[in-house]
Amino acid sequence: MSPVTIPVGPQHPALKEPESFDITLEGERILGVTMRLGYNHRGIEKACEARSWVQDLFLLERICGICSHAHSTAFCMAVEDIASLQVPPRAQFIRTLVGELERIHSHLLWLGVAGHEIGLDTLMMYAWRDRETVMDLLALLTGNRVNYGINLIGGVRRDVSAEQLEQVLRSIDFLEQRVRYYVEVARTESTLHQRLAGVGPLSMDDARRLGAIGPTGRASMVDRDTRRDDPYLAYGEVQFKVITDWHCDVYGRTLVRLGELLESFSIIRQLAARLPAGPLKVKAPRKVPAGQAVARYEAPRGEDLHFVRSNGTERPERVKVRAPTLANLASVAKMLENHRLADVPIVIAAIDPCFSCTDRAVRLARSAGCERLSWAELRQHGIDWYRREAGLDLAALDRRLAAHPPPGGPP
Amino acid sequence: MKWPGKMAAEALRQLLRRPATVPYPSVPAQMPERFRGRIVFDAATCVGCGLCERDCPSGALTINEVGKKRYEAVFQLDRCLFCALCVDLCNKRSLAATREFELAAVRRGDLRVLYPAPAAAKESDGAA
Amino acid sequence: MTAVLAALLALCVFPGLLFAAAGGLAAEFVDRKLHARMQNRVGPPWFQPLADFVKLLSKEELIPGQADRFVFRAMPILALAAATTALFCIPLFGPRAISRFEGDALVVLYLLTLPTLSFFLGGWASTSPYASIGSMRSLTQLFAYEVPLLMVLMAPGLLAGSWSLSGMALFFQAHALLALSNLPGLCVALVALLGKLEKVPFDLAEAETEIVAGTFTEYSGRRLAFFRLAVDVEAVVAASLLASVFLPWGLSLPLAATVPLYLFKVLAVLFVLALLRTILARLRLEQMLEFCWKWLAPAAMLQLLISVLLAGGLSR
């Protein structure tokens, strides 16, 4: 059979978010993979520059639904660093608690998705049913099931009562039972093992070279975890193990995530036992003093990096987000070498891709052979292109928006 | 030791249990206390400082002065993030978050909610 | 004249299209409901498969520009016709089927293979990359489960000394205990049936997360409705086949008893199939081939051996 190229994406039942993987196949064997990103680019970093600090907090939270707290907290940490704010310890603990609950919900979601990709829908249904417990818990604590909005620059918005903590601990006990069952299933179910073991191997050297982080890297023995290496929030005050695994394949990534779930339960119990009393926040200035800072947060998928630069005004000058999936995507092509088409969905799913987090703009430093367009030139280029190719006149849009501005707030 | 069919026991057990699905909307969904649903406005207490309008992340809220110290609020439900930042910022407790979340509408106009200002006399009730 | 009328009635109503279609839709409901309940979900209402069928009939049909139009259009009808015809030779409510002759067991097996062939041809004619891969997998899969299934369905025939399903049923009606020797064959048949009906763990020809819809990717509207109905009818036919060959007890009872008995046996087979598809993950092509040749085929040969020995013992 001559090689044929199959598109997996941008729309494909295997992917939960749009991204394009063009797979060249010969029969069932993969000859090569071409990836194209950017389908979820929404111009968030640019939008941040037009909004005030607190508005940006809520904007960045909505980069992704699964790791929303990660982005929101990382941004807060960076801004608090620039403004030299001392966040009270109770706020740090509450942020950590919500962060760990988010990790639990994200890993359970991943377990379900992995089950679905290999045809074991039952695992998906059970895992997502158990995930409802965490979602209800988060709704109770923060007021919403996703996009928790618990952070403010300088602290948190809501307190956690003793009853809520008790509810958290009860739910954690139930979830621990369930996760131990899933670990048993992962260990003994042979069809699961056949689909996950030996699939998507990434040796430790390759993982280091390609920059794999988070559970993807830890399953290849890359012993990095920002919570331990660079403790932030309340992680310096709790004991936990960093789970690594020697399998270096999708099975290893499964075991790492299940192990991290159990560690999260332990962390939450420690946080609940040692929650300090005190204020919930400190007052944050409206105009953050000039400066720049980098904040690193261990999101469920790996290290999330936020770079924030302020020029002393009410709005940030630059916000840059490097999501963990961007670092892990590079290893997907390597993992798919010498594999079969049937492995593509699970290998992609195993890095726990969050393309919404990943798609940010990148400006190339070298511009030899390409044109550099200014913002105005780029806009005009877009208008001309649409007029030429699709017969649409978008220049009028600007005038119409100027004539009838939407009520209040930035456009 | 790996063998197929580990989940058989659990699957058979689930057959005898009630489904975990909540039959919404036959059964009304109840959100927890302090859930951030639709925001409501009490015009009687508003002093028009505009903090809520200024800091709304999506520009969903506009406070208009319609008379001397009388303010009305216009909410664009399709822009609201339900983050309740406005609720937290208001020093006069004029805004509150309800638990309503079933806010879908067929016409765009229905998503524009107006909270009129109180009548000219100071003693009348604020409409909300 | 009455013979023609009787034949028409048999073709259209019982055990023809209407019975097969109704049975197929009911079987799909049972499977989906059991699958859902085992996953702690509610599952669809009883009329869901019928509603799906009617909805698909009303949808627009799109044929890819490069597709072979004749083959593309003919395959769903071939699949449905073959699956329905197989029901004629299977004894349902008694030891005699409507149409019986020596060798009808092989005819039934052949008719059950035709739908797989039609899936392959339909997918191939679609010229879509997903469909091509699906059809290639579907045909390769055939090599894995077909041989054990054939062997294990021949074993009772060897014992009964007849290549007719009705003949087998009559033999086991007389020697009820001997049917117990076919139980290993029943286990093999249940697993091989998962392959024939393209259910997890052997549903790689239609793996939703890998190749969208495999052989059915380009089908829509009426033709997709017929393909899905063909799959459902195949399930009923296969369950009836298993019930008549491996569970041939109570066939001499009056009609009032054999109808519920038949329903019970078919439901039992469907239950096991639903359970297996709920708790197992999908295997890759080479893993399926390895499993079927390493475990299923030897088990089938064991069953054959048992039947041969028993047949030899009986004849002495």
pLDDT tens sequence across C228-241: 999 999 999 999 99
Mean pLDDT, chain A, integer:
89
A111, A178, A194, A346: which to substitute to probe chain C, counting the most C Cβ within 10 Å?
A: A194
Task: Looking at the complex, report in whole angstroms how far the Cα of residue C112 sits from the nearest Cα belonging to chain A.
Answer: 25
Residue indicated by tokens 């083959």: C71
Find the residue in C nearest to A113 (Cα): C209
Measure the CA–CA gap between A98 and A101, rounded to whole angstroms.
Answer: 5
Rounded Cα distance between B26 and B19, Å, is 15
* Closest partner CB to B14 (pick from C37, C201, C276): C37
Q: What is the pLDDT of residue C175?
A: 86
Q: Is the CB of C281 inside 8 Å of chain A's CB atoms?
A: yes
> Rounded to whole angstroms, how far apart are CA atoms C44 and C31?
10
Tokens of C216: 């059915």
| CA separation for the pair A268, A239 (Å, rounded) | 11
Chain C residues close to B23, C-beta within 8 Å = 42
Closest approach of A356 to chain C, Cα-based (Å): 20
Q: Phi and psi of A308, rounded to 5°? A: -130, 135
Of all residues in chain C, the percent with pLDDT exceeding 90 is: 55
At residue A7, φ and ψ (nearest 5 deg) are: -85, 120
Rounded Cα distance, A21 and A332, in Å? 10
B34 and A193: CB-CB below 8 Å?
no
Q: Does B1 touch chain C (CB under 8 A)?
A: no
**CA B64, CA B58: separation in Å to the nearest integer?**
17
Exposed / middle / buried, residue A289 (Cβ in 10 Å: 0-12, 13-18, 19+): exposed
Taking only the tens place, the pLDDT of each residue in B5-64 is 889 999 999 999 999 998 888 998 888 988 999 999 999 999 999 999 999 999 999 999
DSSP 8-class letter at C281: P
- Does any CB of chain B come closer than 8 Å to the CB of residue C40? yes
Amino acid in position B92: K
How far apart CA A407 and CA A237 sit, in angstroms, is: 47
Residue B4: asked if its preceding bond is cis (omega within 30°), the reply is no
pLDDT one-digit tens code per residue, A317-360: 999 999 899 889 889 988 998 898 889 999 999 998 888 888 87
B-facing residues of C in 65-94 (CB < 8 A) are none
E-strand ranges in A102-234 read 151-152, 155-156
Q: How far apart, in whole angstroms, are the C-alpha atoms of residue A173 and residue A180?
A: 11
C210 contacts on A by Cβ (under 8 Å): 14, 341-342, 344-345
Provide the pLDDT confidence category of residue B127 given band limits of 50, 70 and 90.
very low
Which phi and psi angles does A291 have, rounded to 5°?
155, 180
Residue range A128-144, pLDDT digits in tens: 999 999 999 999 999 99
- Token digits of residue C180: 């117990």
A282, amino acid identity: V
Q: Which residues of C touch B20 (CB under 8 A)?
A: 40-41
Largest CA distance in chain A: 70
Pairing of strands A291-299, A302-310: antiparallel
Q: Residues in chain B, how many? A: 128
Q: Å from B93 to nearest chain A CA?
A: 15
What average pLDDT does the segment A137-165 reach?
A: 93
pLDDT at A409 over 70: no
By the 10 Å C-beta count (0-12 exposed, 13-18 middle, 19+ buried), A379 is classed as: middle
Q: What is the pLDDT of residues C294-307, one digit of tens each?
A: 999 999 999 999 99
B122 — pLDDT class (breaks 50, 70, 90): low
- Cβ within 8 Å, pair B11-C280: no
- The mean pLDDT of A181-202, rounded to a whole number, is 92
Check B8 against C275: CB less than 8 A apart.
Answer: yes
pLDDT at A401: 63
Instruction: Give the span between the Cα atoms of C192 and C199, in whole angstroms.
Output: 10
Give the integer Cα–Cα distance in Å for A350 and C106: 46
State yes or no: cis peptide before C15, omega within 30 of 0: yes
The confidence band for C58, taking pLDDT boundaries of 50, 70 and 90, is: very high
Helix (H, G, I), strand (E, B) or coil at B40: strand
Q: Which tens digits make up the pLDDT trace of A278-306? A: 999 999 999 999 999 999 999 999 999 99
* Cβ contact, residue pair C133, A341, below 8 Å: yes
pLDDT for A389 beyond 90? no
- Cα A400 to Cα A170, A375, C300, distances in angstroms: 56, 20, 75
Contact partners, residue A359, CB within 8 Å, separation at least 6: A37, A38, A39, A40, A41, A42
Host H or E run for residue A299:
strand A291-299
Q: Are B5 and C279 in contact (CB under 8 A)?
A: yes
Distances (CA, A) of A100 to A233, A278, C226: 12, 21, 50
Angle at C132 (CA atoms; ends C128, C137), nearest 5 degrees: 150
CATH class of this structure's domain A44-320: mainly alpha
* Banded pLDDT at A366 (limits 50, 70, 90): low
For residue A190, give the nearest of B4, B35, B55 by CB distance. Answer: B4
Query: Are residues A407 and B81, on separate chains, in Cβ contact within 8 Å?
Result: no
What is the arithmetic mean of pLDDT over A63-86?
A: 93
Reported residue count of chain C is 316
Please indicate if any CB of chain A lies within 8 Å of the CB of C210: yes
Q: In the predicted model, is pLDDT for residue A52 greater than 90?
A: yes
**What percent of chain A clears pLDDT 70, i.e. is strictly above it?**
93
pTM: 0.90
Q: Which residues of C touch A342 (CB under 8 A)?
A: 204, 207, 210, 282, 284-285
C41, C275, C279 ranked by CB distance to B19: nearest:
C41
Cβ neighbors of C50 (< 8 A, separation 6 or more) are C25
Which candidate in C212, C284, C292 is best for mutational testing of the A interface (most A CBs within 10 A)?
A: C284
Q: Which token pair is C247?
A: 């569970």
Domain residue ranges of chain A, discontinuous segments joined by +: 44-320, 366-411
- A129 contacts in chain C (CB < 8 Å): 40
Neighboring chain A residues of B36 at a CB cutoff of 8 Å:
143-144, 149
- For residue C290, give both structure tokens: 């390895």
- Which of B43, A251, C207 is closest to C216 using CA atoms? C207
- Cα–Cα distance, A357 to A212 (Å, whole number): 16
CA distance B37 to chain A (A): 9
CB nearest A409 (choices: B20, B33, B58): B58
Q: Within a 13 Å sphere around the CA of C69, how many CA atoms are in the beta-carbon half?
A: 4
B19 touches chain C (CB under 8 A): yes
Mean pLDDT of chain B: 88
Distance from CA of A289 to the nearest CA of C (A): 50
Structure tokens at A210: 């390609």
Distance CA C91, CA A368 (A): 78
What are chain C's partners, defined as 3 or more CB pairs within 8 angstroms? Answer: A, B
* B2, B11, B34 member nearest A122 (Cβ): B11
The pLDDT score that the predictor gives to residue B29 is 85
Buried b or exposed e, range B84-122, using 16+ CB within 10 angstroms: bbbbbbbeeebbebeeeeeeeeeeeeebebebbbbeeee
| DSSP type of residue C205 | G
Are the Cβ atoms of C209 and A116 closer than 8 angstroms? yes
Q: Which residue of A has its CA nearest to B98?
A: A143
Angle between helix A250-273 and helix A89-117 axes, rounded to 10 deg = 150
Identify the chains in contact with B, defined as 3+ C-beta pairs within 8 A: A, C
